[in-house]
């Protein structure tokens, strides 16, 4: 039966070229009428007052003014399916009523008091949050952004170990600050400026582009990949490269930490061969270092099977950082670690002006409630599996889709020159990306060559949304290929 469905899907997707635009799934929500500045005025204001580094991702920019669940509305009232969630930030849905209600209730009682005083919401929140963690991960720092969380985690690792050097994976993104540019190993985010010493980057264990390939924890595998029943045989080879870095480039007794995302986000949803992170952590521990799991994009149930991405790798980190989905768009983040590691920080005074403020704490608690009450982790698992299966069928039709990968509702589609692994050029990607937007789907971009479509939507999307997206992507590829004839 499954084979029949697959063949039928392929035939459907391979239909002759037409210009028919897929129909958006129905929605009863009626947005407010836009009352902000005219589009032309925003163009002028952006040109004069917004930094040029903040660029438009579309040739025809969007002016968005309202969100509802998985939908966004522009100034003309047009509806879009949001498959990027404000860069993996909107977790439970735009303007979720329970989260909005919790924030409104808190705003009417207490906006702010620093953590030199106590307020109830922070204690209610952290009590609920730590229940989601295994082992001794029970001490919580509440901060304001993923960059700040990773910066604090770096400090904690150095303070606890007494060592100074930190390793991350090539093509990783861990934040944008003058210090974390050294931890981030993506060239497009590295300015031509010196960064603090002591940051190193080890080989990226990438099953699609890595020299040894590998199999990953995904429904979709690289064509011709191994199918190891347990840990992938290539994991040892990539870990050996990490050991070479530790043996040759880092002075003995200087390793403070290894930073790694459970699935690389900005780099286009790159998953590692099964068993890599577990073996890398074991190696790093032998050298006196800690393992820091960056869960900024993979946390809060997004990968489906587990609440945290690192749990899919059968590891317990020493420090975990999180942001984005933690607040469903409200600016907040956290670092979770052990009592022993946090104690090393107590030698100096520490405070955070806004971290753990009453509003953020109320929002964070409401987000956890909604994830549980609405079964969003399971929705990620079920809808995510369906999504990747449909994309795999699309891959069979179009050779420009080189790889489909991911887990839960954290997926990536890598585009290549047909029959090769040469990245599809950015101008060509722009055509497909823009066309999808014009047909009503907002989707992310990423990867070293910006040739990967990143799917990280609000976790409330459904199978009808998936079918619409696949139809739009199918049509966008057809339109692109038609222009290349």
Could you tell me the domains of the chain? 2-92+375-484 (3.90.1150.10), 99-373 (3.40.640.10)
Pairing type for strands 290-294 and 255-261 reads parallel
Least-confidence region, from 91-100, 174-183, 285-294, 306-315? 174-183
User: Is residue 1 over pLDDT 80?
Assistant: no
Is the distance from CB of 391 to CB of 404 less than 8 angstroms? Answer: yes
Nearest to 425 by CA among 406, 408, 447, 403: 447
- Tell me the average pLDDT across 281-301: 98
Whole-model pTM?
Answer: 0.95
User: Is residue 3 over pLDDT 80?
Assistant: no
How many angstroms separate the CA atoms of 167 and 258, rounded?
Answer: 5
How many angstroms separate the CA atoms of 193 and 354, rounded?
Answer: 30
Q: Confidence band (pLDDT; 50, 70, 90) for 15?
A: low
Q: What is the pLDDT of residue 14?
A: 53
DSSP letter for 310, please. Answer: G
How many angstroms separate the CA atoms of 207 and 275, rounded?
Answer: 13
- 218 burial type by CB count under 10 A (0-12 exposed, 13-18 middle, 19+ buried): buried
Q: Confidence band (pLDDT; 50, 70, 90) for 414?
A: very high
Question: Could you report the per-residue pLDDT of 170-190, keeping only the tens digit for each?
Answer: 999 999 999 899 999 999 999
- Tell me the average pLDDT across 81-100: 97
């Amino acid at each position: 039966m499954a084979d029949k469905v697959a063949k039928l899907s392929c035939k459907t997707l391979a239909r002759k070229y037409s210009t028919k635009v897929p129909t958006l799934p129905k929605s009863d929500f009626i947005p407010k009428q836009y009352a902000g500045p005219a589009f032309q005025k925003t163009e002028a204001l952006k040109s004069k007052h917004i930094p040029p580094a903040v660029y438009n991702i579309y040739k025809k920019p969007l002016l968005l003014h309202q969100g509802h669940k998985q939908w966004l509305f522009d100034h003309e009232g047009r509806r879009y399916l949001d498959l990027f969630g404000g860069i993996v930030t909107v977790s439970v849905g735009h303007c979720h009523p329970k989260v909005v209600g919790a924030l409104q209730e808190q705003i009417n009682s207490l906006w702010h008091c620093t953590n030199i005083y106590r307020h109830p919401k922070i204690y209610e929140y952290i009590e609920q949050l730590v229940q989601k963690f295994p082992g001794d991960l029970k001490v919580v720092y509440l901060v304001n952004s993923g960059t700040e969380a990773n910066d604090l985690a770096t400090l904690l690792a150095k303070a606890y170990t007494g060592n100074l050097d930190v390793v991350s994976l090539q093509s990783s993104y861990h934040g944008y600050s003058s210090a974390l540019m050294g931890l981030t190993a993506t060239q497009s985010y590295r300015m031509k400026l010196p960064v603090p010493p002591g940051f190193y980057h080890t080989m990226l264990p990438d099953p699609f582009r890595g020299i040894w390939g590998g199999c990953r924890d995904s429904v979709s595998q690289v064509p011709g990949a191994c199918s190891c029943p347990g840990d992938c045989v290539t994991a040892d080879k990539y870990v050996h490269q990490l050991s070479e870095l530790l043996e040759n480039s880092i002075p003995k007794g200087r390793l403070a930490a290894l930073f790694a995302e459970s699935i690389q986000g900005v780099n286009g949803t790159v998953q590692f061969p099964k068993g890599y992170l577990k073996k890398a952590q074991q190696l790093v521990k032998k050298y006196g270092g800690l393992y820091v799991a960056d869960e900024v994009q993979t946390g809060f149930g997004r990968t489906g099977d587990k609440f945290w991405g690192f749990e899919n790798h059968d590891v317990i980190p020493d420090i975990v950082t999180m942001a984005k989905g933690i607040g469903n768009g409200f600016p907040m983040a956290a670092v979770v670690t052990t009592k022993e590691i946090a104690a090393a920080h107590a030698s100096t005074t520490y405070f955070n002006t806004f971290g753990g403020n009453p509003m953020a704490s109320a929002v964070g608690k409401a987000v956890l409630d909604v994830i549980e009450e609405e079964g969003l982790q399971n929705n990620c698992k079920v809808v995510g599996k369906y999504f990747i299966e449909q994309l795999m069928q699309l891959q069979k039709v179009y050779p420009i889709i080189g790889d489909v990968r991911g887990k839960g509702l954290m997926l990536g589609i890598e585009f290549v020159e047909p029959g090769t692994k040469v990245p599809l050029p950015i101008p060509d990607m722009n055509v497909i990306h823009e066309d999808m937007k014009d047909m009503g789907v907002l989707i992310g971009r990423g990867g070293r060559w910006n040739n990967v479509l990143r799917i990280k939507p609000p976790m409330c999307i459904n199978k009808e949304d998936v079918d619409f997206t696949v139809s739009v992507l199918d049509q966008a590829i057809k339109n692109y290929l038609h222009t290349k004839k």
